[in-house]
Amino acid sequence: MLTNNSEILNLISKCRELRDVGRKSRLLEYINQLLPVESKVKLPSLITNDGIDNLLSWIEVKISPPIYGLTTA
């Protein structure tokens, strides 16, 4: 079940567009299954729309390539 990060980022984008929290939660669970073991998140049994968005952001940061040249030094 190997997928590349761009496919997962695309699913994250689609998940953010959903308004039904149940469907959004199921898509988040699917996305979490696609992640490598070290990037998986522990999903709570009860989650809000904002909680899902926070987890999606966390996953996005974990799997996105680093952006160089953004230092403030």
Q: Which pLDDT band holds residue 1 (cuts at 50, 70, 90)?
A: very low
- Say what the pLDDT of residue 73 is: 53
Summarize the confidence of residues 4-18 as an average pLDDT: 94
Residue spans of the domains in the chain: they are 5-61
Q: Is the pLDDT of residue 15 over 50?
A: yes
Helix H, strand E, coil C: the string for 2-60 is CCCHHHHHHHHHHHHHCCCHHHHHHHHHHHHHHCCHHHCCCCCCCCCHHHHHHHHHHHH
Cβ atoms 14, 56 nearer than 8 A: no
Mean pLDDT across the stretch 52-71? 83
